[in-house]
């Protein structure tokens, strides 16, 4: 049986994290929201994720670029995000897909779908009428 695509969001801003969860819920993905690298690692140890969306400018000293490598080692496709224009050069050199904040929410879901296609992920979106939701 095909499973629902599972997305991990690592974002320290409560409002942005909640918004991304709403977008993923509406788009029909299963997802988990994490505030930091510690929560991300716990989530990765407990579940399988197809894509990790990681803010590179996390508070608390965690480096989003390093977290992206951790997620990639666990088999996740990675999308990096930041609102800091000084990070653009490093983002471009990272070899990872990225979005500069503010971005259009459709850009995010299109990029998730692109990663899933590129990785030949054996998952699907759930029907929009489903009531499955986030685990935080």
Domain limits, the chain: 14-50+72-119
CATH number of 14-50+72-119: 3.40.50.2300
Q: What is the model's pLDDT at position 62?
A: 85
47-86 residue pLDDT tens: 999 999 999 999 877 889 999 999 999 999 999 999 999 9
Task: Kindly report the number of other CB atoms within 10 A of residue 134's CB atom.
Answer: 18
| pLDDT at 107 > cutoff 80 | yes
pLDDT band for position 132 (cuts 50, 70, 90): very low
Helix H or strand E segment including 35: none
Q: What pTM value is reported for the model?
A: 0.90
Contact by Cβ (8 Å): 10, 25: no
What CA–CA distances, in Å, run from 36 to 6, 14, 21, 72, 106?
Answer: 18, 11, 15, 16, 24
d(CA 136, CA 125): 19
């Amino acid at each position: 049986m095909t499973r629902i695509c599972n997305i991990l969001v690592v974002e320290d801003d409560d409002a942005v994290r909640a918004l991304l969860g709403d977008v993923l819920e509406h788009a029909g993905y299963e997802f988990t929201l994490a505030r930091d690298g510690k929560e991300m690692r716990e989530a990765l140890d407990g579940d399988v994720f197809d894509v990790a969306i990681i803010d590179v400018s996390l508070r608390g000293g965690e480096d989003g670029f390093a977290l992206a490598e951790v997620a990639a080692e666990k088999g996740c496709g990675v999308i990096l995000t930041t609102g800091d224009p000084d990070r653009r050069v490093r983002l471009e050199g990272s070899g990872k897909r990225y979005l500069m904040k503010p971005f259009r929410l459709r850009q995010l879901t299109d990029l998730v779908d692109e990663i899933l296609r590129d990785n030949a992920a054996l998952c699907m979106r759930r029907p929009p009428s489903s009531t499955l939701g986030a685990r935080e």
